[in-house]
Amino acid sequence: MDNQLAAIRGYRPIEALVPPDWTEGDVSANGIRQHYYRTGAESGKPPLLLLHGILAGGLTWLRVAKALAADYDVVMLDARGHGRSARLDGADFSYPVLVEDVVAAIYALGLERPAILGHSLGGATAALLAARYPDLPRAVILEDAAWGDTSHMPRIGEAEGYRAWLATYVEYLERLRTLPHAERLVSALAQLPPGTAGVWPEEEYVPWVEAQAQLDLELVRGGATLWSTMGLEPPLAALAPAIICPLLLLSGAPTRAISEGIAAEHPSVRHIPIEDAGHFVHLDQLGRLLAAVRAFLEEQEEEGSHGNGA
């Protein structure tokens, strides 16, 4: 812990980490305010939309976006209830709603057939979007998408130990948003996801802490019961036949077996297991993830050029 504290004390605020030539703003889409960050709005580069996981935020893609900005117009959305996007205010939070949010944002931002990279919750959202709007995405990449059966989650949510943990976590989040930058970073160390080894790099840790401070507490209080009401029908693994755009599965350890099964059943689906990676593939093995993303997207661009007679 002493080494971690020493490492993060010099970490800069999020404002100092975002390149000055990037843009950010809000669009009114699907009836809510959606906040976004963008690396190249006027660049003419192919659009690449990044969808974050639950309890994260658009800027938790910071290192990925910096690495890909030279070749793509990278757009990072804050999902509803996250980052600087609209609060829930009693509205539904489900995969179908999140899909409609993203579709509306794509049109509002003028993104023409973007490639979509989604992690966890964002991956499931991207898959359902591709199945329901087959002509909208150019290609879809799922990073350790949320495949699992969540029907058991309400039972977990009823457990006394879970309720006690959730109350403590909400208290932590309430306190976190009141702290100055340096104290936020120290306070958040105790909340790193299970299995985390060592301290995260500055461009991963600072955006993650800020995302925690920006969470809509209504969403967090939903706890385990949220997952049983997300409304992913049919189950994510059954969506593959409906996705006609190129599809790449990047799996860490949690989703490797199910991803292998999907790729074996559907030869059009590409699967690349990322060795020595857990659920946060872009954190654990950034270089391998970037190499896979670049190769896949470049292949789609080359095939698209040939298809257009170039």
Compute CA distances 300 → 138, 170, 201, 248, 294, whole Å. Answer: 8, 43, 31, 11, 10
Task: Report how far residue 29's alpha carbon sits from residue 293's, in angstroms, rounded to the nearest whole number.
Answer: 28
Q: Summarize pLDDT for 202-213 with one digit per residue, the tens.
A: 999 999 999 999
Mean pLDDT, the chain, rounded, equals 90
CA nearest to 30, candidates 123, 106, 126: 106
Q: Is the pLDDT of residue 36 over 60?
A: yes
Can you say how many angstroms the Cα of residue 86 is from the centroid of all Cα atoms in its chain? 17
Domain range for residue 264?
Answer: 2-307
Q: Summarize pLDDT for 222-252 with one digit per residue, the tens.
A: 876 776 667 666 677 788 889 999 999 999 9
- What does the pLDDT average to over 136-155? 78
* Residue carrying the six token digits 């509803």: 80
CATH label of the domain that carries residue 158 = 3.40.50.1820
Q: What's the predicted TM-score (pTM) here?
A: 0.94
User: How many domains in the chain?
Assistant: 1
